[in-house]
Structure 1
Amino acid sequence: SSFENRSAAGRRLADQLSDYTHRDDVVVLALPRGGLPVAAEVTRQLGLQLDVMLVRKIGFPGHPEYGIGAISEHQVEVIDQARIAQLGTTTDQLQESISAERQELERRLEIYRQGRSLPNLTDKTVLLVDDGVATGVTMKAAVESARKLGAAEVVVAVPVCAADSAAELRARADRLVCLLEPANLRAVGQYYQQFDQLNDDQVVKFLSN
């Protein structure tokens, strides 16, 4: 089973989220960039506002594809200490990776939100939306951020989520809404017929609609 594209996946996801329709205590935050087309359909169908939660994966020094942690815009850092010990890296190397990602995060914040701050999440139900979850490390950082910002309830909503990450997210979030939970997910893109990378201009366009 797979999705035609991110928008189609968003429409199917929205069908599972109908109990949040037109609620003024609900905030939808997409994880850019891939989460935006998914979340745009969710907000359109449910009559909600769309915004972004910026999170960056921290790659293992020299091997950026190995996620060993993530940072979010609110100084939240989720670092997988066990993974680091296993792979063997120094704190200096790690700090270098973190500060590089922090810079990129600040750059994107400026473009995506143009100085606006995140909507107030105090006592709100926050729907965190992405196009899929593999290791779950960036989504965990997003969950921590939403909690830190006072969210009353944190809901993770994704079209596809690796089964082991789903178990972890159920433990961390209040609810996980997921359409597909494959046991061995190698790449989120496998579950989409069209999975083009988005650029910053497209993100801005989604946010200004």
Structure 2
Amino acid sequence: MRVVLLRGSNEHGEGSSMPFGDRDEAGRRLAGRLAGYRTADAVVLGVPRGGVPVARRVAEALDAPLDVIVVRRLRVPDHPELGLGAVAEADVRIIDDEVVFRTGVGERDLAAAEERARAELAEQAARLRAARSRVDVAGRTAIVVDDGAATGTSTHAACRVAREQGASRVVLALPVAPPEALRRLAEVVDEIVCLETPLALPSIGEWYRDFDEVRDADVAALLGATPAPRTG
């Protein structure tokens, strides 16, 4: 497993607390470091919602098809700020056993949370892709792109989806993530390219001057603006 850390940062960003103007800039900077992945079999997969504007710039630079991997967080009942884990396409499921233990969430509540998340996931995937078919990643290099990873739970699930769908190589590309999250993510990918690695990352938005909400309609528009996916 190869990890390419293109700029190690301390907790304060080596004097720069806002290294990215917005997701578009982050995507351009990340794309500039991914030129070596411009191959005929490359597929770029954005993690909705915020990862898709970043992924769009990477896909353009690599002349690769763009698709999404839809992930939904599992929340503790009555405490939505706490994450139990995540579910994703391809029946991927990640549970944070420590949170389950600390909160006392039972199997029934966990199953109910997963059922709701699965229904929301299916609806969101349909909205985002509209009439487009999912890009087949089997036997190809899947470049999974997010706008950052604080804990890495959703990004971890997305990378597992790419693997489950048969990608021959899974490359994770991130503008920013702390070392601890990268260590966990290294378990499910072949390579990681990360621009900024602060020791702590309470919020991804802290590393962007403009971190406006990305809507499903914005993601669908970005996907609709890409050329028809290559299937071979």
Question: Is contact 2:71–2:86 with CA below 8 Å preserved after alignment?
Answer: yes
Q: CA deviation at 1:86?
A: 2.4
Q: Would you say how many aligned residue pairs link Structure 1 and Structure 2? A: 208
Is 2:27 aligned against 1:10?
Answer: yes
Q: CA deviation at 1:188?
A: 0.2
Q: CA deviation at 1:16?
A: 1.1
Q: Which has the higher contact order (CA 8 A, sep 6+)?
A: 2
TM-score, length basis structure 2? 0.86
Structure having the higher helix fraction is 1
Q: CA deviation at 1:201?
A: 1.3
Which residue matches 1:85?
101
- Distance in structure 1 (CA, Å) of the matches to 2:115 and 2:90: 14
Deviations 1:18-39 (A, max 9, x none): 1112x22111000011011101
Q: Which moved more, 1:2-11 or 1:71-80?
A: 71-80
- Distance in structure 2 (CA, Å) of the matches to 1:208 and 1:7: 17
Among candidates 35, 38, 60, match of residue 54 of structure 2: 38
Which residue matches 2:193?
177
Which residue matches 2:170?
154
Deviations 1:103-148 (A, max 9, x none): 1111111111125442111111101101010111111111111111
Q: CA deviation at 1:181?
A: 1.1
Question: Is contact 1:109–1:115 with CA below 8 Å preserved after alignment?
Answer: no
Name the SS for the 1:168 alignment partner.
helix
Which residue matches 2:222?
206
Question: Is contact 1:77–1:141 with CA below 8 Å preserved after alignment?
Answer: yes
Q: Percentage identity across aligned positions?
A: 39
Is 2:142 aligned against 1:126?
Answer: yes
Which residue matches 2:36?
19
- Distance in structure 2 (CA, Å) of the matches to 1:145 and 1:66: 23
User: What letter corresponds to residue 177 of structure 1 in structure 2?
Assistant: V
> What is the RMSD of the two structures over their aligned residues, measured on CA atoms?
1.2
